[in-house]
Amino acid sequence: MTVWQVYLFILPIGLGIMTLVGSLMCLFAYLMSDDNATRLPAFTWFKRLLIVAFLLISIGLFMTFKHFWG
């Protein structure tokens, strides 16, 4: 196995962590805003990005552990 194959297995974990940080920024915007025009889209994006983050992290962990321990 080459190095770039290992990189492709670990890549979804890194993208998931970055997406998780983005969702936490949207949560912070939701909590700090007083205007409903800002609060509602921020909470919607928080939920969307949180789901995508956990999907990416789950896929990355599955690919990594399946390959190295399977």
Taking only the tens place, the pLDDT of each residue in 9-43 is 889 999 999 999 999 999 999 999 999 999 999 99
Mean pLDDT lowest among 11-15, 33-37, 49-53, 60-64: 60-64
Q: Given CA atoms 43, 47, 52, 53 in this order, what sign does their dihedral have?
A: positive
Q: Look up the domain containing 7 and give its range.
A: 3-69
Provide CB contacts within 8 A for 63, sequence distance 6+. 9, 12
E strands, 1-70, in order: none
Give the pLDDT band (50/70/90) at residue 63: confident
Using CA atoms, how far apart are residues 11 and 17, in angstroms rounded to an integer? 10
Q: What mean pLDDT is reported for the chain? A: 90
Counted domains in the chain = 1
Dihedral angle sign, alpha carbons of residues 28, 29, 33, 38: negative
